[in-house]
Amino acid sequence: MTQLRFLVLGALTVAHSAPVELGPLKQRLTLAMLLARPDTFVPVETLCEGVWTEAAAPRTARKNLQVYISNLRRLLDDRAERLVHEAGGYRLHVDADELDSLQFRALARAGRQARQRGAALPAAQHFRHALRLWRGTPFAGLHRSHPLAAEARRLEGQHLQVLEEWAETELEIGNCAAVADALTEHAERHPQRERLRAAQMTALFRCGRQAEALQVFEDVRRQLAEAYGLQPTPALEKLYRSILAEQRGHLRPAAAPPPQSLPNDLPDFVGRAEQLGEITDVVRHSTRQVIVVTGPAGIGKTTLAVRLAHTLQHDFPGGRILLRMREPDGTPRATVDLLAELAALTGLTDRMTGHPDQDSFHWRAWLGERRVLLMLDDAPDETAVRPLVPGAGPATVVVTSRRRMAGLADAHRIDVPSLTCAEAVDLLSQIIGRDRTTADPSAANAVVTAIGRLPLAVRIGGLKLAAMRLLPLRDFAERLASSRTVLDELVAGDLAVRPRIADSWYGMSRAHRTDVSQLATLPAPSLTLQDAATTLSCPPDEARRRLESLVDTGALLSPEPAVTARSIRYELPALVRLYARECVPTPPDRRAAAVG
């Protein structure tokens, strides 16, 4: 059964698969009063004080409360004895993971314990997760109840304290940009929180924004004088003088801006909502550090990773870096060259020695202390990835690869499928104009189907059609109907699909190319274990091992889950299948059959 979730750090909400309708105001006030004291005996008198806010409780208050309690029991019927009566009052049983305010306190406690141990990175993560639970003012809309308004003020005080602790911890690990941007609104609303203002001034100074840091102090001095007739504390005065004189003291030198090395996001990006949602969920709610995005050449792995990086900009204040793992000709880059590029992007050049093991140590130590998104694009294998991934810390590494990278322990893997027919036509429409695809939708469907709904192929085919405005969509579809000419047609200027498929093809071992060539002779791209055993002329157990090896290298897809190995349906990517057929001459008996 789906667990109930009680949310009070914002508007009162109860969710059980979907939000629960909580009924009239006084019934909601009753529940809010019980959640303000979770798993605690709440006397009837206290409930009455919180529920009847305009005047004294009526004589029927106890009976009315019994009705509200009865209704709430029906709504919260996920387990026995959730809401129980005790002599003179009631108790709402709530586990720590069911109520956001209890989760907030637990995470804050864990952050403080980690900080006391000197573990700044885990402490920052705990504080960060605690702050993400806040959706707004606690018990929003119910502050006509004086006890609930007081509880909201108490929770907001705890929130500010955790915010201050988070800011100080982030500053300890060098994330000054995240602190400078996040504290502005809170610090302006709470000028009397000098600890908050001190963190804001420090963050601005370390980001090189000295004038803004000094202005914060002047604003504090003016606001305290006008509101309370007070001066800033000696500690804040000392910090101000230190910044003014550029005496770094306990301050670190102004930090360089976080590294940003990203291509532009594509304006015509389509689909991939499921994959983006899954990766976002892993980034924000999982402890897994490595995410492997797999799929055949041209499926859109890099485009997906770039869209993800732009979408999660605020999740990675330490920077976002995309590193190409191959040379333009498709050969893997040397580890020392990859580390040198990363060092140049992050200011670590003076620590690089040219020795891969030592340089890897310095890079991983730097990355392990920062909330950075590192994308390793088109990684050839696990050995190329390991020297670039830290052992722990707040960074996230997204690896795009044709291989499944089975050797990367505890990685989260996401397979990128072909676009749906509707998504592929949408992409084509954005490139060539929607008027052309709506004028002949069957031709548009035929075009994207012939090229396997592969995003790269759709894009290059679309660019060709966009440049050749007089080429009817129907004519282009007819050209693609012949499998012998598909790859020749997918050329637009200096862009072509064939070289990308060729890189993928020659990136396979000779044994894998031989197996794919044989499987490509089957009449359809989809095949079973028995099909493979017959075509490869080997026993089923050996065929299974060879198919699994092809899946691991990304040369073969296994799109649907199955109960047994024999029931799995495998699939050759459409354009890889066409290329394999080109590379192997048709046997004489098949040529004769084709002619006949």
321 plus 370 within the same structural domain: yes
**pLDDT above 90: percentage of residues in the chain:** 35
Residue 594 pLDDT: 33
- Examine residue 266 and state whether it is found in any structural domain, yes or no: yes
427 plus 297 within the same structural domain: no
At 87, the amino acid letter reads: A
238 plus 161 within the same structural domain: no
- Examine residue 294 and state whether it is found in any structural domain, yes or no: yes
How many beta carbons lie within 10 A of that of residue 569, not counting itself?
A: 14
330 plus 224 within the same structural domain: no
4 plus 147 within the same structural domain: yes
Instruction: Confirm if 394 and 125 have CB atoms less than 8 A apart.
Output: yes
- Examine residue 404 and state whether it is found in any structural domain, yes or no: yes
The CATH code of the domain that includes 525 is 1.10.10.10
Its domain, for residue 439, covers 421-452+464-496
Query: Exposure of 398 by Cβ count < 10 A (0-12 exposed, 13-18 middle, 19+ buried)?
Result: buried
**What whole-number distance in Å separates Cα of residue 400 and Cα of residue 409?**
16
480 plus 518 within the same structural domain: no
Please tell me what DSSP assigns to residue 291: E
- Residue ending a domain, among 138, 153, 169, is 169
**What whole-number distance in Å separates Cα of residue 391 and Cα of residue 412?**
15
Instruction: Confirm if 422 and 442 have CB atoms less than 8 A apart.
Output: no
227 plus 333 within the same structural domain: no
- Examine residue 35 and state whether it is found in any structural domain, yes or no: yes
Residue 570 pLDDT: 87
**What whole-number distance in Å separates Cα of residue 447 and Cα of residue 428?**
9
The CATH code of the domain that includes 210 is 1.25.40.10
147 plus 160 within the same structural domain: yes
Residue 99: closest CA among 215, 19, 15? 15
182-222 per-position pLDDT tens digit:
888 787 788 778 888 888 888 888 887 888 888 888 888 88
**What whole-number distance in Å separates Cα of residue 8 and Cα of residue 10?**
5
116-173 per-position pLDDT tens digit:
877 777 888 899 999 999 999 999 999 988 999 999 999 999 999 999 999 988 888 7
154 plus 251 within the same structural domain: no
At 39, the amino acid letter reads: D
Residue 375: closest CA among 317, 303, 456? 303
Beta bridge mates, 99: 6
Count of the separate structural domains present in the chain: 5
- Examine residue 458 and state whether it is found in any structural domain, yes or no: no
Structural Rg of the chain based on CA atoms: 31
Instruction: Confirm if 99 and 8 have CB atoms less than 8 A apart.
Output: yes
- Examine residue 308 and state whether it is found in any structural domain, yes or no: yes
Give the DSSP H or E segment for 19. Answer: strand 18-19
Instruction: Confirm if 321 and 259 have CB atoms less than 8 A apart.
Output: yes
343 plus 226 within the same structural domain: no
Buried b (16+ CB within 10 A) or exposed e, 37-73: bbeeebebebbbbbbbbeeebeeebeebbeebbebbe
301 plus 213 within the same structural domain: no
202 plus 226 within the same structural domain: yes
Residue 559 pLDDT: 57
Average pLDDT by consecutive 10-residue portion of the chain (596 residues)?
81 85 91 93 91 79 90 78 88 91 93 81 87 93 91 92 90 81 81 84 84 86 79 83 65 62 87 91 84 89 92 87 85 89 84 84 86 92 91 88 86 89 93 92 92 90 90 90 83 87 85 91 88 92 90 78 64 87 58 33
Residue 284 pLDDT: 84
Query: What are residue 190's phi and psi, to 5 degrees?
Result: -135, 65
- Spacing of C-alpha 108 from chain mean position: 23
- Examine residue 36 and state whether it is found in any structural domain, yes or no: yes
